[in-house]
Chain A
Amino acid sequence: MSGAVPVAVHTDYILSDIAPAGGLSVSPWVALAYLAAGVLFILALRGLSSPSTSQRGNRYGMIGMGIAVVTTLLTHGLASLPEIGAAIAVGGGIGIITARRIKMTDMPQLVAAFHSLVGLAAVLVGWAAYLNPQAFGIAGPDGVIEAQSRVEMGLGIAIGAITFSGSVIAFLKLAGKMSGSPIMLPGRHVINLATLAAILGLIGWFTQDQGLWVIATVTVLAFAIGFLLIIPIGGADMPVVVSMLNSYSGWAAAAMGFTLHNTAMIITGALVGSSGAILSYIMCKAMNRSFISVIAGGFGAVAADGGEAREQRPWKRGSAEDAAFLLGEAEQVIIIPGYGMAVAQAQHVLREMGDLLKARGVRVKYAIHPVAGRMPGHMNVLLAEANVPYDDVFELEDINGEFAQTDVAFIIGANDVVNPAAKTDKTSPIYGMPVFDVEKAKTIMFIKRSMGGVGYAGVDNDVFYMDQTMMLLADAKKMVEDINKALAH
């Protein structure tokens, strides 16, 4: 067993051979610098445990990245610094301009776009390592790449390619450039599993045959499966998709880290990989769905067909003035925002409404379901953007006991997350999903465009027809503006 994989030799080989002779390129220091970068990345995530420490955490992350880049440049890159500098300037410029200009409601598609770039970068680095293995210290002078490195490289390229094409589809769906509804191919499970098996088989074969066709086929198949995996998933399942792609981008970085024996990349890859996996888990749990069923896709496509059988039931329509009166008289109001608020860009007027109510002595709280919006934490960012203090914003389990003491539950752009069928109707597609107990509130105000549409899950909502429910049918932003006008009188 021992000595079967003589990898260690080559790490020293790159450092001593390519780096200029001098104190800076001493191998242990370089390794320590990458380790420091990895630790700083851990601290960056640790800072996010509270908004008060988060900004410092972000700075640790920047320092860590600076250390990793400068260390690499010092040991490898001095020769082609102008080209590299230009590439960094172009990329960095685009990045900063995008980050400054992007609207907060568009954050999910921005994150998806960024994921695709990590994926593509991983594919390119993998290919570069294949074409020039000596530079990465994974091949002898004869150009034969070590078997273990071939597997790592193959996995890195495959995961990177899946991340890339999957994220491109996710981006197109989130940006509304492609229909958000699931696209179902016949026999897609068989196609997907066969493609996956082919990829793994080819990576295995790659250890025997270093030929270009093997790695090229792996790349093409991985691009295809990333595409195939994401097209049948849509709408409210997007938070899981975005988290999952986040996870993949991490695993891709980790796989390349193995190829390069780079501590910073391995630590980061593991961090990002577990982060995305945990977020996917949280999202699935918040919808009471298994990860497999989300990945299998197609949710909502079937259920929506059953809509015609719905009986006509009486419901009450309210005006902005009615709503303003009841809100103004309330002691406590809980606002439940959903994706519709983001679509209507209603977060700012909503905060104004909250301020007007607070000025009248009303307690105003915001309740956020884990899967509200199109990515984890989407609603929190929008409320923060609108200057809602974060200690007014509560998670599902922290606030759900309060509805019985609440005068008005104000639902804006949410639907499935307040549907009591999730608690009572075993046949409902959303049965078992944790939901807000809005029916316990004295009055429910439900802002909705029209009575026709139902939530993403395609199920009717009993809340519409309850005695204490007032339907406010209008565009969310327009309705809240009208309520604000009435409140200001």
Chain B
Amino acid sequence: MDFISTLSIFVMACFVGYYVVWSVTPALHTPLMAVTNAISSVIIVGALIAAAAAGSGYANWLGLIAVALASVNIFGGFAVTARMLAMYKKKDRPVPVAPAEKAK
């Protein structure tokens, strides 16, 4: 990929991010931060390449440490987001509307 295609993807993704994030309900801003945290750990891709590559022992070690750090974030970030999201509940009121609509 040349620089311009990479840059195009980046710019488009910024716009997508802009619209998607504005549509996030303010009540979920904390889970939003937790999940963005988890996904930004996709940097693990770079860490894996460094950890696996032949050629430099130092680079391997740096890569392995980065893999461990990013894993804390990935597992921790998704788990804590799931834990928070499971807490958001609707009011459990009896809903007699559904059968009435079926009857129509």
- Per-residue CB contact flags for chain A residues 101-122 toward chain B (1 = under 8 Å, else 0) read 0101001001100110110111
If A62-B78, A252-B43, A381-B87 touch, whether A275 touches B17 (CB-CB below 8 Å) is: yes
If A44-B39, A271-B39 touch, whether A375 touches B33 (CB-CB below 8 Å) is: yes
Q: Is the CB of A271 within 8 A of B36?
A: yes
* A135 CB–B CB distance under 8 Å: yes
Give CA–CA (A128, B49) in the complex, Å.
9
If A90-B71, A117-B70, A273-B17 touch, whether A132 touches B35 (CB-CB below 8 Å) is: no
Q: Is the CB of A48 within 8 A of B51?
A: no
B4 to chain A, nearest CB (A): 10
Q: Is the CB of B48 within 8 A of A76?
A: yes
B residues less than 8 Å from A73 (CB atoms): 48, 52
Label chain A's interface by main secondary structure: helix
Q: Is the CB of A18 within 8 A of B90?
A: no
Q: Is the CB of B83 within 8 A of A46?
A: no
A200 to chain B, nearest CB (A): 19
If A91-B67, A385-B87 touch, whether A279 touches B33 (CB-CB below 8 Å) is: yes
Which of A7, A257, A272 gathers most chain B CB within 10 Å? Answer: A272
* A219 CB–B CB distance under 8 Å: no
Closest to B32 in A: A48
A residues less than 8 Å from B16 (CB atoms): 42, 267, 270-271
A residues less than 8 Å from B90 (CB atoms): 51-52, 389-391
Label chain B's interface by main secondary structure: helix
Interface residues of B in 51-104 (CB under 8 A from A): 51-56, 58-60, 62-92
A residues less than 8 Å from B89 (CB atoms): 384, 387, 389-390
A267 to chain B, nearest CB (A): 4
* A83 CB–B CB distance under 8 Å: yes
Q: Is the CB of B28 within 8 A of A131?
A: no
Q: Is the CB of A135 within 8 A of B54?
A: yes
A residues less than 8 Å from B36 (CB atoms): 45, 246, 249-250, 271-272, 275-276
- Per-residue CB contact flags for chain B residues 11-42 toward chain A (1 = under 8 Å, else 0) read 10110111011111111111111111111111
B residues less than 8 Å from A272 (CB atoms): 17, 36-37, 39-40
Taking beta carbons and an 8 Å cutoff, which residues of A are in contact with B? 5, 7-8, 11, 14, 18, 31, 34, 37-38, 41-42, 44-46, 48-52, 54-55, 57-58, 61-62, 64-65, 68-69, 72-73, 76-80, 83-84, 87-96, 98-100, 102, 104, 107, 110-111, 114-115, 117-118, 120-122, 124-125, 127-129, 131-132, 134-136, 148, 242-243, 246, 249-250, 252-254, 256-276, 278-279, 282, 368, 370, 375-378, 380-381, 384-385, 387, 389-393, 395
A-B pairs, 8 with minimum CB distance: A91-B71, A95-B76, A135-B53, A377-B29, A274-B17, A128-B50, A270-B13, A376-B29
Q: List 8 A-B contacts (CB under 8 A).
A: A5-B2, A92-B71, A121-B41, A135-B59, A263-B9, A271-B36, A375-B29, A387-B87
